[in-house]
Every structure is written in structure tokens, then in C-alpha cells.
Structure 1
Amino acid sequence: MTSAEAAPPAGVGRRRAQPRPAVTLRRVLAAEWTKVTSLTSTPWVVVGTTGAASALAFGLGLFAGPGDAVTGTSLAASGNLLAQLGVLVLGVLVGSADFATGTSLTTFAAVPRRLPVLAAQVLVTAAVAALTGLAVLAASVLATAGARRGAGVSWDVADPGDLRAATGYVLFLTGAAVCGLALGALLRRPLAALTTGVVLFLLVEQVLAANPGRVTDTVRAFLPGSGTRLFADDTQLAALAGGDGPDLGAWGGGLVLGAWCAVLVLLAGYRLVRRDIT
């Protein structure tokens, strides 16, 4: 028998190599959604943020009474500090998870271009944070119903001012989560990213607010915490406009927060493309 006779026909006795599925944003998005929603920490962060923020709003509402300078909007959003912290944690966990757990090599071997992973994480984080914001808002409105009755104020989503504040509240928490994600992807260490986020959103804001003046009010206006203007009521916006800083209005504060999100995401993307992934 010759070697030609002994050799099997082409394709016989061997398995044809299956073509590798193309990497598309849709598939990467589905993978990141599965990854984020399957983490045990995700539901705990969402539930914990909702519970903590609404509990704080309820507790602060106990001190509100007739004649106090409170509105339905300010009562519903009074748990904002804990809500901010919760969504920052959510974003940081998503952004740093691959690097903290050592799965970054696997993730970026599957998606060599890398940036689609970051884009998918931004979209997934924004979606989860928006749902969390809606849950926090609904729970806080319910938790402060008694306080509003006692203070003689109302909150109605059909009212243009309350609708703007409700929309702004959800947008602000979504933006804070995206900033947390970008910090997690940029710094790649959960503790460092969360500490930086808390300093930017909470600590510096509170220190400057305690020392009003032209310089401090101007700096405050361009910090990411300026996004809280999105859900400030008319009285709070008027007080901010009467300060020494620039009058950005509600949506101007939202643009400042959006700019912070964009810059941090771009920095994270630059490091992801230009630097090592470990």
C-alpha cells in the first residue's frame, strides 16, 4: 500500500476547526451584563443602598415640622449621601473586578481590542445604577410620606419641579456610578478607587461648603458633586445662585458631572489601551 493510498481523504477522521465567533459590542455587552448581575455583591449593594438611603431620609424626616424650610423634594432626597456612597461602591466594584480577581487576562484575551469591554461596563453600570436610583427614589418618597404630612408639604411626580428633581436624582446617581466605574478601571484597586471617589464627591464638597467664599464656591461648582443641583429644589437653587460661585442652574450642574464622567472614562480607556492589563 502506498502512502497515497494509506492517507485518508481530506477532512476524514479529523474535526474541522470551528470559526471563532466575531467579537461584537452586543456580545461583549451580554457577557458583562451576565458578569455583573451574577455577582453576589450586586444585589446586596442595590438593596443596601436602597434601604440605607431611604432609612436616612426617614430618620431626617422625623425632625421636620410645620414652618421648617423643607420641601417635598428636599425630604425625598435627604438620603442622598448614602445613596451616593452606594452607587460609587457599585461602580468601583464593576470597574476593578477583573483586575482585583485576576481575570483581566482572560477577559482581554477574549476581547483583544479592550475598549469594547470598558464601553460595555459603562452601559451595564449605568443601567444598574439607574434602576437603583429609581428604587432609592421610590423607597425614599414612601419613607418620608409621614414627614411631608407633618410638615405640610407635598411631593407629586406630575408637578414639573418634582418631576425635574426626580429625573435629576436618578441621573445624578447614574453619573456617580459611572465615575466610580471609571475610577475602578483607572486605578484598578477597589480601596484606592473608592477612597478617591469619596474624596471627590463627598469630602472636598463638605469641607468647601463649610468655608464659603468666592474661591471655594467656584471650586465647588466644578466638582462632580455639583451634579446634586440636578435634584435641588427651587429654594436650594436660589441659595446657590446667590453665592459667590457661578450660577450653573440645575442642568449646568448635570453637565459638570457629565464632563467628569467623560474625562475619567477617557483616562481609564487610555490606560487600558496603552498600559499592561495586570
Structure 2
Amino acid sequence: MSVTSTTPGTARAAAATRSGPTFVRLLAAEWTKLTSLRSPWWVAGVTVAVAAAITYLSAQASSGDPGFQPFDSLSSGLVLAQVGPLVLGVLAGAGEYRTGAFRTTFTLVPRRWPVLAAQTLVVAAFALGLGVLATVACVLGVLPAAASRDIPLDLTAGETPAVLLAMTLFVVGLALLGFALGVILRRTVPAMVTALVVVLLLPVMLTLAGEMASEPADPASFSSTGEGPGPITVPGMLLTFSPGGAAQEMTVPASYQPVAGSPDMSPLGGGLVLGGWVLVLLAATGVRLRTRDVR
């Protein structure tokens, strides 16, 4: 008969391995924390309802035009519904700091990068489900107008599948952007105001500035074909590479003309720019969590 001896340190390490907060447990805990609150479900419900209503109204308003195409109104419902993913992300990011629950979280899990990664994945997963539902709501909102004109809505033709995918990822990207701002600022109101300014107000201001800057003094300043958005301007460039402008670019078919003064960015390019902003903000969030004490 053999006896296996263990040192006290080895025993403690083995016990920590068996009972410690593994990443899977972190994911389950963060998912429970998010879904046990009523606010994310309310935000999701309102977002889907607004997306359906705005898309329906936009399609109905355009259905009287001779050249009406249901596809053109497909993403219109996300214009106002994009506030929902931002609110969802900000609430998920700043919620723990507003209530003080983050102290318990980081006491149980001293390593902060796994917590941030788990929270990011949970927010992304919840936002993905919301994005699918919002996209379906937009499709349903277009159907009555298409039926009234006897226009079939083929969701598998042309650029439609790419736009539907981009609409779903649009919701996910905005939710993660709001989440990162919420964690960085740690206050719901400042984070929400910042998100709305960056995503909604700034693109409008840059669009207006780009249109004024791109107005030609004579027709020769247009492209050789007499068509197109004209020369690229500084406001147009800033619009394209801003988080809000890149997000809007995701839902615009690649065959459409860009905004006046802006470079021709494809939906894929817009998604990459928005994803880059999210990664930069999440990296800044991780650095702050590692270098500052929890207070």
C-alpha cells in the first residue's frame, strides 16, 4: 500500500483549481446577472417594436412612389432603434459601478481581464439575439407595403443577405460600443450622453459640414461623369471613420453612393471601422481595470 503525500501549498492550489471561478462559471454568472434584470428585456422589447414601427411607416410613405423598392426601406427602422443597443450596452457596462456590485465581483475574481472578457461576450450574445429580432421586425415592417404593390420581397437576392447580416451586426457593434463607454466612464448618464453624441449627433453635424464643404463653385469640380459625391472633404473623412458614421455605413448597400464628401466605404469597411473602435475602447477599459484600484 502506498501513501501519497501532499504539501499544504499543493493542496490549496488543487482546491482552488476545483472550486475557483473558471471562465465558464464567469460566463454563466455574467449571463445570469444580465438576464435577471428587467431593464435589458425592456430595452430589447422597445427596440424591436420601434424597429418594426419605423420600418413600416417608412415603407408605407415610400410605397406611393413609382420607383418604390421595398429593399430601400429595409434598414430604415434602425435609425431610431439604434438607441436601444446603446442603452443596453451602457446599462450593462456602468450598472455594476452604479450599484457598487463591482466590488463583490472583483473580490471573488481578482483577475480583471477574464471578468471583462466574460461581460463582453455576454453583452455580445444578448445583443446578437436582439439584432436578429430587430432585423426580423424590419423585414416584417416592409412586407405590407411590398404586398400592396404586389412586389415580391426576395431575401436571398442581390445584396439583401449582406444587408440583413450587417443590420444584425450593427446592433451588436453598438451594444459593445455602449458597454465599453459604460465601463470606462462608470456613470450611466455621462456614458449615455457620450454614446448618443458620438453615434447620433456627431454624424449629423459632420454630414451637414461635408455637404457644405463639397458644394462646387462650378460643375467642373464634379467627377468626369457629372455624377457622384464630388471631392472628399475633411468632414466627410471624419464622418466615415467615426463610430456613428461607420455604423450607418454598415446598413447601406455597397452599390449606393456615399454621403457627399465622404470616401466610398463598403458595408464591410464600415463594420471593420466600428469593430476597430470597439476593440480600442475595450483595450482602454482593460488597461484601466488593471492599473487603477477598484474604488
Q: TM-score, normalised by structure 2?
A: 0.82
| Pairwise CA distance, 1:58 | 1.5
| Pairwise CA distance, 1:207 | 1.4
SS in 2 for 1:129: helix
Contact 1:36 1:94 in 2 (8 A): yes
Q: Which residue of 2 aligns with 1:233?
A: 253
Higher relative contact order (CA 8 A, sep 6+): 1
Q: Which residue of 2 aligns with 1:202?
A: 200
Contact 2:182 2:191 in 1 (8 A): yes
The answer as to 2:234 corresponding to 1:215 is yes
2-side partners of 1:231 and 1:153: how far apart?
22
Contact 1:93 1:181 in 2 (8 A): yes
AA at the equivalent of 2:280? V
Structure 2 alignment gaps of length 5 or more? 1-11, 215-232
Provide closer, same or farther for how the CA distance between residues 173 and 154 of structure 1 changes in structure 2, counting only shifts above 3 A: farther
AA at the equivalent of 2:250? L
Provide closer, same or farther for how the CA distance between residues 69 and 107 of structure 1 changes in structure 2, counting only shifts above 3 A: farther
Contact 2:59 2:70 in 1 (8 A): no
| Pairwise CA distance, 1:70 | 5.2
The answer as to 2:85 corresponding to 1:87 is yes
| Pairwise CA distance, 1:255 | 0.6
Deviates more, 1:245-254 or 1:178-187: 245-254
The answer as to 2:291 corresponding to 1:274 is yes
The answer as to 2:261 corresponding to 1:261 is no
Provide closer, same or farther for how the CA distance between residues 55 and 38 of structure 1 changes in structure 2, counting only shifts above 3 A: same
Q: Which residue of 1 aligns with 2:118?
A: 120
Map 1:1-278 onto structure 2 (within 5 A).
19-20=15-16, 21-67=19-65, 71-150=69-148, 153-211=151-209, 212=211, 213=214, 214-225=233-244, 226-234=246-254, 237-240=255-258, 243-278=260-295
| Pairwise CA distance, 1:69 | 6.1
1-side partners of 2:87 and 2:38: how far apart?
14
Provide closer, same or farther for how the CA distance between residues 131 and 105 of structure 1 changes in structure 2, counting only shifts above 3 A: same
| Pairwise CA distance, 1:262 | 0.4
Provide closer, same or farther for how the CA distance between residues 116 and 73 of structure 1 changes in structure 2, counting only shifts above 3 A: farther
Q: TM-score, normalised by structure 1?
A: 0.87
1:229-274 Cα shifts (integer Å, max 9, x gaps): 222135xx5310x743222212111110010100111111111111
Alignment root-mean-square deviation, CA: 2.0
Contact 1:73 1:233 in 2 (8 A): no
SS in 2 for 1:135: helix
| Pairwise CA distance, 1:220 | 0.4
1:49-81 Cα shifts (integer Å, max 9, x gaps): 101121111122221124466533331211112
Aligned-pair identity in percent equals 37
Contact 2:73 2:142 in 1 (8 A): yes
1-side partners of 2:274 and 2:62: how far apart?
30
Contact 2:257 2:264 in 1 (8 A): no
